[in-house]
Amino acid sequence: MISPRTEAPRPLLQALELTRKDLRLEVRAGEALLVTAPFGGVALLLVPLAVGTDVPMLRSVGSGMYWAVVLLFGVLITLRQSAVDAPQQVELLRLTGIHPAVQLLGRAGANAVLLLAFELAVLPVAVIVYDPPLNNWPWLVLVLPLVAIGLAVLGTLAGALTQGLAGRTTLGPLLVVPLALPLLLAATQTAEATRYGRPPWNWLALLLLVDLVAALAVVLSARSLEEGS
């Protein structure tokens, strides 16, 4: 007997479609990778230009510089996605009856994909310039997506909270950067722990905890948006 075909839940399909919509718009504009990524690569060159070719020092600060660049430029990527929404687009999504949580999930998914692409785009520059130890590479498979997801969710949350405000371009980074500091700390300490041969499970747990708390905040924010509308 052939089992009936199971389909994904409708909210999940709606979120995936919104994610594809945002990614298509970004592919057409090309600002996240074609503009932001080169500036991120240039930012990674600032420390070597300032201190010279002190290889031990560059190796010690390389991980922190990489994640600081990911944090600062990642904030711009995530907030840009919400800044380009015209009032007509926001009203159209509201009229379609799509739950605010689904809308935020779709936006966070697109932001996570863009942030992961940005991380991978500037990673070769960090490797060439700072020559980091090779023993922490396997952990990047876990750290890169966890940081991308956490920062994407925080940026999506900040975009939703500042929607319609005149100073959203200023308020957004002020909201995201302090909340994202645990991501920066956990990512850099993961690299430091593996550098000295220690398993970084506690720092990976911190990354996962920040992602879960940010996701919970998005759900609560979506509920308040639904009640406000």
Q: Which amino acid is at 221?
A: S
pLDDT at residue 2, as a whole number: 40
Q: Which of the four pLDDT bands, split at 50, 70 and 90, describes residue 115? A: very high
pLDDT at residue 58, as a whole number: 78
pLDDT at residue 118, as a whole number: 94
Contact, 183 vs 151, CB < 8 A? Answer: yes
Contact, 67 vs 73, CB < 8 A? Answer: no
Q: Which amino acid is at 31?
A: E
147-160 burial: b if 16+ Cβ within 10 Å, else e:
bbbbbbbbbbbbbb
Average pLDDT of the segment spanning 165-182: 82
pLDDT at 223 over 80: no
pLDDT at residue 6, as a whole number: 46
Q: Where are the domains of the chain?
A: 11-223
pLDDT at residue 202, as a whole number: 94
pLDDT at residue 93, as a whole number: 64
pLDDT at 14 over 60: yes
Between 106 and 197, name the one with better pLDDT: 106
Give the tens place of pLDDT for each residue, 147-156: 999 999 999 8
Q: Which of the four pLDDT bands, split at 50, 70 and 90, describes residue 7? A: very low
pLDDT at 12 over 80: yes
Average pLDDT of the segment spanning 58-66: 84
pLDDT at 71 over 80: yes
Dihedral sign computed on CA atoms, order 183, 184, 188, 193: negative
What is the enclosing helix (H) or strand (E) of 146?
helix 137-161
